A = this chain, B = another copy of it.
């Protein structure tokens, strides 16, 4: 299914060791390129790249508490507040008090939010074409799928923050 790496055949002296293939720098590089283009494209929609990240996480994760969001995004929770304020001001998300624990805010994407996110993704097609121009559509889909699965994991040492959101411990 996911073969498409057919050109691993040439092994010569310099770097025959795939164990050194770290994606970090490449990830950084491409993310920057994408972000630079996204900013101008997203501006008319009243969004910034980091808003899009939050919306994407919320769409993937359903209702999450703000601290869970802070954990997932690996941002300080005080800065999450401002981020969510922006999004709530435009009715893209909703903060509802959790019935089980009334200290918590359950953050969820609104219909408007999902729509805006869709529009934004649509508007970003051009930017992505520029940055991922070297990849065929099927490869982009593969890339998307890999990124999506990787970003679906919660950081931390597993047990703790998952316990907060889930109940399986």
Contacts and interface: CB of A to CB of B under 8 A. Distances in A.
Interface stretch (A78-86, A97-105, A135-143): A135-143
A53 B25 contact: yes
Contacts of A33: 74, 151, 155
Interface SS, A side: helix
A96 interface: no
A7 to B, nearest CB: 8
B130 A30 contact: no
Interface residues on A, range: 35 or more
A89 interface: no
Given A29-B53, A53-B29, A130 B118 contact: no
A68 interface: no
A27 interface: yes
B5 A121 contact: no
